[in-house]
Amino acid sequence: MALLLVLVAVMALTFIVAGLYESSQASWDESSLSRARYQAGLLAESGLSIALHPRVEPGDVALNQSFGTDRGFEVIMTSEGGRLPVNELTEERMRETATELFVLWGLDAAEASRASDSIADWIDSNSDPLPNGGENGYYAGLDHPQFPANAAFTSLEQLVFVAGMDAVERVQPFWRDYFTIHSDGLIDLNEAPKELIAALTRTTEDSALNFVAVRMGDDGIAGTEDDYRFTDTGEVQSLLGLSDSEWTTISPFVTMSGTVKRIESTGRIGDFRETRVVLAEEVTEGRDTVLTPLARFRK
C-alpha cells in the first residue's frame, strides 16, 4: 500500500512538473519575444538619433551598422516630397496628377476623376462639387451627413471615406505609400517614384523609368552613396523630354530637394525587426540647418 501511494504521488508530481514546464515555457517564449522587440526598438531609435544629425546624408556608412552577427540597424533617408501632397489637390495641376496616377494604376478615366475630384471637394472650403466630385448631398445619401470635412486631411486613413477611393484601393492596395500630409507641398523629383513623375510631367513611362534609373546610380538601388541627385533643371527637362512650355507649367509644383525628410530606421535582433519612422523638417537656425521632427510612428 505504501509503495502504491508513493507511485501515485510520483505520477502526480510528474504531471504537475510537466504542466509547470509547459506553462513556463510559453511564458519564457513570450518574454524572449518581448525582449527581442524591445531591444530591436532601441536599435531602431539609435539609428534615428544618428540620422537626425544635420550633417548625416543619405547613404552615410553610419546609417547601416551591425553589432555581432545577429543585431544592428539600417536607416533609409528620403524626402517626404517623393509622395503626392494630398492636401494640395485643390490645385488643378495636382488634381490632374492624381487622376493620371490613378489611371496608371489601372482605373478608367471616369473612376480616376471621381476619386481625385472627391478628394479636392473634401478639403475645399465650399459646398459646390467639382464635375466628378462629391459634396454634402452625396455623403448624406450614404447616411454620412458629417462628410466631407471641408478641411485639410490630418490622417491618410481619412481618405478611405472619400468617394471613389474604394476603386483606388481595389487596383492599388498600397496607395498610402504614394500620399502624404506632411510634405512642403511640392513634389521632389529626386525622390518621387516613376509613376508619380509620369503622372505629373505627362512624360512617357519609359522616360520616367530612365530618369529614375539615372537617379539611382550604377548599383540600381535608391538611398545609397552612388545615387545621383539632380540640381540642374535644364538637365531634368532634357532627360524627361519636356518642352519649355511644359516645364514652365509644372515648375511651380516641383522641387529638387524637399524640406521634409522621411527617416525609416529598422533595428534587428536575429530574425526579428522593428521599424520606427520620423518625418522631420529642415529648419535654418543661424548658420546651421537642423531637423525638427513633425511626426513619428511605428511601421
Main-chain dihedrals φ then ψ at residue 226, nearest 5 degrees: -90, 10
Mean pLDDT of 72-80: 94
Q: Which amino acid is at 281?
A: E
According to the model, what pLDDT value does residue 152 have?
94
pTM of the shown model:
0.82
Mean pLDDT of 100-109: 96
The sheet that has 272-285: what strands, in order across it?
64-66, 71-79, 260-269, 272-285, 288-298
Which three three-digit cell numbers place residue 30?
513570450
Which three three-digit cell numbers place residue 60?
552615410
The predicted-structure confidence for 191-237, as pLDDT tens digits, reads as follows 999 999 999 999 999 999 999 999 998 888 887 778 899 999 999 99
The predicted-structure confidence for 123-179, as pLDDT tens digits, reads as follows 998 888 899 988 878 888 777 777 888 899 999 999 999 999 999 999 999 999 999
Q: Which amino acid is at 185?
A: G
Nearest to 262 by CA among 51, 64, 1: 51
> DSSP code of 280?
E
Mean pLDDT of 111-121: 96
| Cα–Cα distance for residue pair 108/31, rounded to 1 Å | 51
Main-chain dihedrals φ then ψ at residue 113, nearest 5 degrees: -65, -35
> DSSP code of 231?
-
CB under 8 Å to 78, separation ≥6 — which residues? 58, 191, 222, 223, 261, 262, 264
Which three three-digit cell numbers place residue 176?
498610402
> Environment class of residue 252 by beta-carbon count within 10 Å: exposed (0-12), middle (13-18) or buried (19+)?
exposed
> DSSP code of 141?
T
Ramachandran quadrant class, 185 (left: phi over 0; alpha: psi -120 to 50; beta: rest): left
Which neighbouring-strand residues pair with 291? Answer: 282
Position 269 pLDDT exceeds 50: yes
Q: Could you give the percent of the chain with pLDDT greater than 90?
A: 65
